[in-house]
Amino acid sequence: MSFEKSIDVTALGELLIDFTQNGVSAQGNNIFEANPGGAPCNVLAMLTKAGKKTAFIGKVGNDMFGKLLKAKTEEQGIDMSGLLMDDDVRTTLAFVEKLPNGDRDFSFYRNPGADIMLTADEVEAHRDLIEKAKIFHLGTLSMTHETVEKASIKALEIAKAAGCLISFDPNLRPPLWESEEKAKEKIAFGFSKCDILKISDNEITFMTGEEDLEKGIHKIIDEYKIPLVFATYGPDGSKAYCGGKEAYEAGFKNPATIETTGAGDTFCASALYHVLKYGIDGLADEARLHELLTFANAAASLVTTKKGALCVMPAVDQVQAYIKESGR
């Protein structure tokens, strides 16, 4: 059976509020800003801004935060017809603390949160959003609990049958897992199903035990035979691996950086933008891999100059201008 591919990317997973620190009150208390977030929708927001058609499947609470998220994601142009509102469970919240080294620590309010209540039957009811997609994208936060894990597996089955490319970002958040072993099991499952993998330096070490990141990424590629892999190293840049070709591009270190929330999602969206442009086979070309990495690194750098991610993704022309200004 063939399917009309009228959607570029459909994603499934968490949609939540990232509360990020934004100053101190007159009484000396921390002030937190409610930023719409969640990795899958961050990816879609960047792609939508780049002119791609996107859709989301997930669940939020039928509460003030869920209604805010629905409104904000629809404003970005994402098809949110697959968003369900739960009357009984509240929207998931994450409080983001910026660490002295520029990294982040997360405190999640998700026991339970509405995103983990998404069911396989609810995915089945919105299967057309997956079948119409060229790429289906997900991460492991939709595998941390049994109900939403079954929903994710159902979505993957639909995507495979419909001939979608599968994009996977582990997006490891250790506090959300009952054990490291469980996290490794589900990340390995994602490796086994995907055509496109975006993975960060800490996730490479977590999954392989290798401090030598090059050895670690090759272990993953050799074992799982993933056609297209991106390894990200924060401000130190990124590498791409496709069809026996490899490429590296240095990061863009921006003095205006204020936080790194959404940088990995921006990189992932930029990578998928180029997959849609060239196809996986078309990226087995070093020049195109360098083009992709330069763009993705620049876009990720730009988003670090804003608070939050979903509503502040850079446009393609902004990224291109930034690359030009940087002399790259």
Residue 323 CA neighbour count, 13 Å, CB half: 21
pLDDT digit string (tens) for 270-317?
A: 999 999 999 999 999 999 999 999 999 999 999 999 988 899 999 999
Q: How confident is the model at residue 115 (pLDDT cuts 50, 70, 90)?
A: very high
Q: What is the mean pLDDT of the chain?
A: 95
- Of 3.10.150.10, 3.10.20.30, 3.30.565.10, 3.40.1190.20, the CATH number of 7-13+38-89+114-325 is 3.40.1190.20
Its pTM stands at 0.95
Q: Measured between alpha carbons, how far is 15 from 92 in angstroms, rounded to an integer? A: 7
Q: Domain extents for the chain?
A: 7-13+38-89+114-325
Antiparallel, parallel or unpaired: β 133-139 and 7-12: parallel
Q: Measured between alpha carbons, how far is 58 from 122 in angstroms, rounded to an integer? A: 9
pLDDT digit string (tens) for 212-256?
A: 999 999 999 999 999 999 999 999 999 999 999 999 999 998 888
